[in-house]
Amino acid sequence: MKDSHIVESSRYASSFALHLFLLSSLFFDLVTCGSINVPDTVLLNCGSNEASQFNGENWIGDVGSNFLPPEYEKSSSPLLISNIHSGEPKVPYSTARITYSPLTYSFPSSPGLKFVRVYFLSSLYLMMNPSKAYFSVKAGPYTLLSDFNPSVFAEELNLVSFTKDFLVNVREDKLNITFTPSPLISNAFAFVNGIETFPVPHTIYFPGSKIPVPYIGQQKPLFINGEYALETLYRVSIDSDLTDVKNAFGLWLDDDRYISSSQYGSVLDIKSRTVSLNYTILSSKDYNYSAPAELYLTARTMDSNGDANIKYNLTWFFPVDSGFKYLVRLHFCEISMMVTQPNQRVFKVYINNQTAEERMDVVALAGAPLTPVHKDYVAMVPNESGRRNYLSISLHPNMEPKPKYADAILNGIEIMKISDSDGSLAAMFQFRREQRNKKFQHVIIVAGATLGAILGLLLTSFILISRARKKLKWRTSHILPSNSSSSHKNIQPTVTSGLCHQFTFAEISIATSNFSEALVIGEGGFGKVYKGIMQHDGYTPVAVKRSNRSSRQGYKEFQNEINIFSFCHMNLVSLLGYCQEANELILVYEYMTQGPLCDHLYKKQKQPLSWIQRLRICVGAARGIHYLHTGTTHPVIHRDIKSANILLDQNWVAKIADFGLCRTVPSLCHSHVSTEVKGTYGYLDPEYYKRRKLTEKSDVYSFGVVLFEVLCGRPAVNPVAVEEENEKVGLATWAMHCYQCGTVDKLVDPHLEGNVRAECLRDFVDIGIQCLANRSADRPTMGEVLSSLEKILCLQEFFLKGN
């Protein structure tokens, strides 16, 4: 068995050349173990019986891998997932290993530190109930996860697939990873889609028992030795939007989503300057595993105005589990040409409001400018009855004595969770306990890792609470404070039952003539939309959205829409009420007589809209989106702006519909989880698509596409019958092309010819093109788009009157 493993492993290992070369050469240096000839790098595609290549890496199936107990080795049929999401990588996510009893993967290994990455896809497995997927994961003596439900986690982060990454010490010649379904839940099961493991030099994150790590707020330092396991949570770099910052553990994410205040400081970027950094302090081991060289080429500083800098702290907030210690590694490198001597830029570093560094002077610490260094700290995030909490890092100039520049600088942050005294890294899933122990009236849905998990609970609470005519308050973990003064602990938003009517199923059946097919006016991922007539007070037409019973997506989006309904704005479609009975999930909206905007732009049978009408619709839609972005306590990103989601009422007033994909921002995001990209092809912000970075500017991009649909009277995808090239052409690309070639006239809908004032056309195209900027930072805000459109409308109306 062992021999065959060696053969197997070396076969796939050979294609890992680079990867392995880096890893194993180091590994052999560090671990004195003469007999290792087993390459330790494993990429295991669980539930599969075949080898596959993905992204240049070779995966093997777990069936026949010899890592599973013998009884599993024979099962030959792979467990295919029926509804693999199109955005997820096929390997390892298209198959899973599912078990109702404890299951151990046993990887032959050499003693030493191992990186362990576990891949999960939150999905319906063979129609098994995802809420029954509660399990623990142990690696050797360490508990990595406990009472873990991947769909809860995925909901919280708003993604479908994700990984959990760990560093564990292997002491024997085997690394055993055990998945155990929770004994507390009947019929609980465990699943896993993939496991990756490779050796890592010990010294990278474990300075050992000789080098003390300052423990913030404690007298005694902590010695991080092989006793501990770590979970790698965040790796952020500054402004990494345009360059990939990557190390052996994957991509580093942009830091700006973690900045909480309105003050973002400024970004220093020397990528274009031909300077070389002096890496002697950090060995190459460090930057291959910990910090890559590119990390140090950008930095965040405060602003150029020292007086203003004294008035604020440059602060990052990271959501973490409470009750654990965290290893915080700050990366510094003085890259400003102005700062070359010690005592020129001296600042304080606070971690969780406590002083970590009274006088940080990067040039003094590194001995010279352009020399990367990093410093480690340990911080305890106190136990707040199991809730999620925040770890904050703040910088502030130290003014005593007054330095040359009242400023601060930072190049990167890493945060790792340290296992507790029981060797556990697993946070409690508090909500389940509360649900068990308390009466429903007392349920205040707790913050924490649990928002997504609470779907069912929230829904039940809604009903209960609307009966009890009480206010439901809920907290969300993914909402960071939008400014530093409003504490993230505030309960936001508050939803009152009075706003949302609960219909009975009977009422809705009558209104829709028992869901007559003849009344279907639309269909989507959620289910079908019917036109209905409510005979409450008079004769009110409504739109009835009925959830497709098997659609989990529907359930989630339903939830989301109920949350968003508290918004009331004349340019947002109003939710009148809902119905939840038995298996039915139904939403009732105001009826929009004229239907979606797209129907009026390129459906032949409709009367073409006039230019003024089109401008008014654009202004209305922009107002609706602007309201979502700014009119509420926490900005909301729609994520699916398109002409099909802009509906028109009988007076041609545009209203934004379909809040199923909405997100409050900034959404919590792990450093190495892949956010599921949602939205519609043709409207997707390229930066969001590429970087998985979601901001309000993603809506701005999509709205830019809508502006060109309006101007051109063509759909977002395949706007022109391309005879010569049979490529798929997006309207955005085409518009950009015409703009650059100065052939904007070609864009204008023939129906509009002669009606568009030249200056209006110029300004309209300008704002549209700005919306389509590749970099989100270069796009205007929705407020700016709105005011431009208002000006254009004004101008056009003026000429109309003048004529």
| 545 annotated to a ligand binding site | yes
Q: Does 280 bind ligand NAG (CB under 6 A)?
A: yes
Among residues 129, 353, 610, 743, the one that binds ligand NAG under rule CB under 6 A: 353
Name the active-site residue from 640, 685, 699, 749: 640
Q: Does 423 bind ligand NAG (CB under 6 A)?
A: no
CB nearer to ligand NAG: give 78 or 372. 372
Site for ligand NAG in 489-528 (CB under 6 A): none
3-state SS, 625-672, equals HHHHHHCCCCCEECCCCCHHHEEECCCCCEEECCCCCCEECCCCCCCC
Q: Does 652 bind ligand NAG (CB under 6 A)?
A: no
In the chain, the largest separation of any two C-alpha atoms, in whole Å, equals 91
Interface stretch with ligand NAG, choices 391-399, 496-504, 505-513, 623-631 (CB under 6 A): 391-399
Cα distance between residue 728 and residue 713, in whole Å: 18
DSSP string, 211-267: S-B-BTT-SS-B---TT--EEEEEEEESSTTSS--EETTEEPEEGGGGB-SS---EE
Shortest Å, Cβ 445 to ligand NAG: 18
Shortest Å, Cβ 187 to ligand NAG: 24
CB nearer to ligand NAG: give 106 or 225. 106
Cα distance between residue 147 and residue 429, in whole Å: 7
Interface stretch with ligand NAG, choices 123-131, 224-232, 263-271, 307-315 (CB under 6 A): 307-315
Shortest Å, Cβ 664 to ligand NAG: 19
Interface stretch with ligand NAG, choices 115-123, 350-358, 433-441, 499-507 (CB under 6 A): 350-358
* 785-787-793-795 Cα dihedral, nearest 10 degrees: -120
Among residues 246, 285, 552, 634, the one that binds ligand NAG under rule CB under 6 A: 285
**Residues 658-677 vs ligand NAG: string with x where CB under 6 A?**
--------------------
Interface stretch with ligand NAG, choices 281-289, 326-334, 740-748, 781-789 (CB under 6 A): 281-289
CB atoms inside a 10 Å sphere around CB 770: 16
Among residues 217, 323, 423, 608, the one that binds ligand NAG under rule CB under 6 A: 323
Cα distance between residue 273 and residue 632, in whole Å: 42
Shortest Å, Cβ 385 to ligand NAG: 5
CB nearer to ligand NAG: give 210 or 311. 311
Among residues 66, 131, 278, 574, the one that binds ligand NAG under rule CB under 6 A: 278
Interface stretch with ligand NAG, choices 308-316, 454-462, 570-578, 779-787 (CB under 6 A): 308-316
Token pair in block for residue 114: 């191992």
Angle at Cα 433 formed by Cα 428 and Cα 436, nearest 5°? Answer: 165
Interface stretch with ligand NAG, choices 9-17, 52-60, 192-200, 363-371 (CB under 6 A): 363-371
CB nearer to ligand NAG: give 292 or 768. 292
CB atoms inside a 10 Å sphere around CB 184: 11
Shortest Å, Cβ 70 to ligand NAG: 10
DSSP string, 590-628: E--TTEEHHHHHH-TTSPPPPHHHHHHHHHHHHHHHHHH
Among residues 52, 66, 99, 106, the one that binds ligand NAG under rule CB under 6 A: 106
Site for ligand NAG in 22-61 (CB under 6 A): 22, 26
CB atoms inside a 10 Å sphere around CB 25: 9
Interface stretch with ligand NAG, choices 1-9, 296-304, 392-400, 500-508 (CB under 6 A): 392-400
Q: Does 618 bind ligand NAG (CB under 6 A)?
A: no
Among residues 290, 394, 476, 702, the one that binds ligand NAG under rule CB under 6 A: 394
Angle at Cα 75 formed by Cα 70 and Cα 78, nearest 5°? Answer: 130
Q: Does 441 bind ligand NAG (CB under 6 A)?
A: no
Cα distance between residue 616 and residue 594, in whole Å: 15
Q: Exposure string (b/e) for 519-546, b if CB count within 10 Å is 16 or more?
A: beebebebbbbbbbebeeeeeeebbbbb
Report whether 456 contacts 151 (CB < 8 A).
no
Give 254: exposed, middle or buried? Use CB within 10 Å, 0-12, 13-18, 19+. Answer: middle
Sign for the pseudo-dihedral over CA of 468, 469, 470, 475: positive
Q: Site size for ligand NAG, by CB under 6 A? A: 28
Distance of CA 534 to the CA centre of its chain: 39
Our separate counts of H helices and E strands in the chain read 19, 39
Among residues 54, 72, 215, 350, the one that binds ligand NAG under rule CB under 6 A: 350
Q: Does 325 bind ligand NAG (CB under 6 A)?
A: no
Q: Does 562 bind ligand NAG (CB under 6 A)?
A: no
Cα distance between residue 324 and residue 18, in whole Å: 36
Q: Does 743 bind ligand NAG (CB under 6 A)?
A: no
Shortest Å, Cβ 757 to ligand NAG: 50
Shortest Å, Cβ 287 to ligand NAG: 7
- Looking at the DSSP assignment, which residues form a beta bridge with residue 161? 121
Q: Does 291 bind ligand NAG (CB under 6 A)?
A: no
DSSP string, 698-739: HHHHHHHHHHHHHHHT--SBS-S--SS--S--BHHHHHHHHH
Q: Is 640 a catalytic residue?
A: yes
Short-list 136, 200, 188, 189, CA closest to 164 = 136
Shortest Å, Cβ 423 to ligand NAG: 13
Token pair in block for residue 610: 């006039």
Q: Does 385 bind ligand NAG (CB under 6 A)?
A: yes
H or E, element range at 568: none
Site for ligand NAG in 364-383 (CB under 6 A): 367-368, 371, 383
DSSP, res 791:
H
Cα distance between residue 565 and residue 563, in whole Å: 6
CB nearer to ligand NAG: give 21 or 799. 21
- Looking at the DSSP assignment, which residues form a beta bridge with residue 523? 528
CB nearer to ligand NAG: give 350 or 515. 350
Site for ligand NAG in 139-198 (CB under 6 A): 172, 174, 176
Name the site residues for ligand NAG (rule: CB under 6 A).
22, 26, 104, 106, 172, 174, 176, 278, 280, 284-285, 288, 311-313, 323, 350, 352-353, 367-368, 371, 383, 385, 392, 394, 396, 487
Which residues carry a binding-site annotation?
Answer: 545
- Catalytic residue list: 640
Which residues carry a binding-site annotation for ATP?
Answer: 545
